[in-house]
Structure 1
């Protein structure tokens, strides 16, 4: 049986405010850990062990977020024809081993469009709670409407897609959140800490932010005029150079 992650007593955990969370986990130990921790953190919890049952629950009741442990959850037999009608598609947080990340995009379709993110396993409960907080904030009132755009750069939250002209950008969840934050704050310099707390839910030092910005810049600005810029010593901003004062 795999060793279960635990939050240390000194960790200051992000808390909820009574939001309804559906946990989908096939491993009883993981299900118990997630359910107990999230309930203690202030969330209202329902637990199921299959995606099929989770889709039925989502059709019967409105949830604010779904947490899915990918590895033990069987997806077979959940075809489009057999899916119940789900009026509200909540954000989804996936728990996945690094070697399983290439399976995430096909499996995302089971829960439809909406905010999605993942935490790699073995995971820390502090990180899971922080990512839940960010997802709920991003999916909250006023965060979804018409697609965000700047010149020929378009971010469609309803489809979780980004395009530059006719070119789809194929962003990871972290890259998508970074681009969204830059778009919402176009022509405004954002510090590394501001961006880090929006993208990951906490501040990450080292070169994590530089690497993320570099990957996003390669996708957004490839063969086009540069839209993502560095203000050395201050942070990053999005826009055309003549538009920055």
Structure 2
């Protein structure tokens, strides 16, 4: 039996698959949460902070690849894709998009459980981060994908939010340019640092942040960026 503190979120629109996985995972001591579509799956991921997400790609409201992209905007939780799509291109897209593993349906339950154990072991019981992060008057709420400054919502583009959410996820620590480019634009754009400079520039404008004397986003020259920790002067 495994440590039953592990929570597995299953996002799949097939009720029979969810039941099968629930029975199999529960028998191994895991606690299982279910979602039948992408939006409810993202909401559950934000609210329950699972240790592992099992994600189907063929969802009724949005494609699983899109769910993965949104999830990776604010969470590092391990993701195991479970899909009937067996093409190499689909697998590469999912893995490049941040999936940790990919299992094709139909699948053997023992292999599936072994992959679950490996991902949980690698992640150290998972770490999906805090529900929200604050840096002075700036608040990044991952659950609602909302950014507020002095209590007022700041309208951000998808890329602007993704950059800020990633910095918030590593609050107080430097995130390299290469990591930001790979995670947000994809592995083929790790040298396109101008993309990142433009987005950070727009973020600073919207947050009223002076790059010469930043309140929020600090540039570590030649390395990357970090979101100021609350304790910094």
TM range, normalised to the smaller chain?
0.3 to 0.5
TM-score, length-scaled by structure 1: 0.44
